[in-house]
Amino acid sequence: MSTRTLVTNLAALEDGPVSVSGWVETVRDQKKVQFVILRDESGAVQLVNPAVRELAEDAGPEASARLAITEQISALAHGSFITVTGDLKHDERVKLGGLEVKIGTLEVVTEALPETPIAADSSLDKRLDWRFLDLRNPKQALIFKVQTTLLHAWRTYWVERGFIEIQTPKLMASASESRAELFEIEYFEGKAYLAQSPQFFKQMAQVAGFGKVFEVGPAFRADPSFTSRHATEFTSVDAEMSWIDSHEDVMAMHEELLVAGFTAVKERHGAEIEELFGVEVTVPATPFPRIPLARAKEIVAERGYVVPREDEDMDPEGERQIAAYVREEFGHEFVFLTDYASNIRPFYHMRHEGDPSLTNSYDLLFNGVEISTGAQREHRVDVLVAQAKEKGLEPEELEFYLDFFRYGAPAHGGFGMGLARVLMLMLHEASIREVTYLFRGPTRLLP
């Protein structure tokens, strides 16, 4: 078993022998002393070597070993992976963590090429080409520590409330929403489609009697968009639950979930986020503001911006404007836009009783960007068939889905939420490319 100590654990140790391993971040090769900043997955530490540049004729083995180390350090390339044994010393004068390790032995485990292909000022596309190097940056690595904490908090919230985690198939025989954004693939003698969402299978779980389910998994959209918030493959965070009275029940669960996640992130990473991103994580107050879509468009118009098409969804500028209004009026980063028109919603969204032009649905905006769509689902099979036909879908192709509702279905609802969008907006990053481990878009399939 390795005796390696993580950098983050050094501060708790007493002065004395240690072994550390990591990547060479910087080398300061001075005349009488050499400093190496070594970084591992937990942090960085300063290594020091009293340099020996030449040997006297009567130099002993210790001096020879020190000269060899001096020459090794002088030849180190940025990014080389090394293992060092030496003596840990706590010293308040050391700016990096108040401690350093005096090098006793140094092993170059793997040597890096002398010229690094990316730099701090490289373009995002260039950095994505060399993502494995880009992710060595502590700021980039923090994103995925935050993601881990966020997902763990969400899972904990759900599990403690009796939700069941499911993993739904991503190969489908027919469209889950519409054919417009489907990836079609060859499947033996026929065709299959990559799932746009786990929607149908989440609903199947309600009819199966699971009651409440969630899933965190991949979703695919054949959308040729090059915006900062679109991807062809993304991680979808989904939940569905039975025995609801309306979409208000879904919204109440949704906002509680986000509060749980943001609380965990702030407690565990708040100080580091503020240091590296210059952002303070704010735990949102509940309830989140709720504004019907029609009223939201009126508010935006009163602010001087008219959404181009009256019968369409809010456009990006409209989203920014209503978010600005919510910040001013409520001091809140989130807002539910509710009561969407049925012509811009999927066939399976339940419509208002007495007004079929509106649906029991919502979009959730965070800092001016849509992160989620939720709704109460239609569970009456005859209504589903009629609404599918209205949308130009063939009920025959949806038979497997429609069968769910022919054997007793509870009232239910849920949402789908983009993980990368939540992270992007929480950390005030400019693009989901920054917060996606390996981004996939219309022109990117590597690395």
Q: Give the closest residue to 15 by CA, choosing from 72, 99, 131, 113.
A: 99
Angle at 218 between CA 41 and CA 214, to 5 degrees: 95
How does 252-261 read in b/e, with b if 16+ C-beta sit within 10 Å? ebbbebbbbb
Q: Shortest CA distance to 247 belongs to which of 372, 390, 400, 393?
A: 372
* Enclosing H/E stretch for 65: helix 61-74
**Token pair listed for 325:** 């209004």
Strands 43-50 and 164-165 turn out to be unpaired
User: Is 373 labeled as ligand-binding?
Assistant: yes
The verdict on whether residue 83 carries a ligand-binding annotation is no
SS3 39: strand
> Is residue 267 classed as helix, strand or coil in its secondary structure?
helix
Cα gap 166→239, rounded to integer Å: 10
**46: β partners:** 37, 100
Q: Are 251 and 128 in contact (CB under 8 A)?
A: no
Q: Is 4 annotated as a binding residue?
A: no
Q: Is 215 among the annotated ligand-binding positions?
A: no
* Residue where the block lists tokens 């390696």: 4
Which is nearest to 178 in space by CA: 34, 388, 351?
388
Q: Kindly state the greatest CA–CA separation across the chain.
A: 100
For the purposes of burial, counting CB atoms within 10 Å of the CB of 76, is it exposed (0-12), middle (13-18) or buried (19 or more)? buried
- 161 among the known binding-site residues? no
Where helices occur in 93-244 by DSSP H, the ranges are: 124-129, 131-134, 138-160, 199-207
Is 370 known as a binding-site position?
yes
Could you tell me which of 329, 318, 408 has the C-alpha nearest to residue 365? 318
Q: Is 112 annotated as a binding residue?
A: no
Residue 280 amino acid letter? E
Q: In angstroms, rounded to a whole number, what is the distance separating the alpha carbons of residues 402 and 386? A: 11
Q: Is residue 377 annotated as involved in ligand binding?
A: yes
Sorted by sequence, the CB contacts under 8 Å of residue 357 that are 6+ apart come out as 341, 342, 343, 351
369-376, strands of its sheet edge to edge: 164-165, 212-220, 233-242, 412-418, 369-376, 361-366, 334-338, 290-292
Does 5 carry a binding-site annotation? Answer: no
**Calpha distance 172→155 (Å, rounded):** 26
Phi/psi of residue 418, nearest 5 degrees: -85, 115
**Would you list which residues are annotated within the binding site for ATP?**
370, 418-421
**Would you list which residues are annotated within the binding site for L-aspartate?**
177, 221, 373, 377
**Would you list which residues are annotated within the binding site?**
177, 221, 370, 373, 377, 418-421
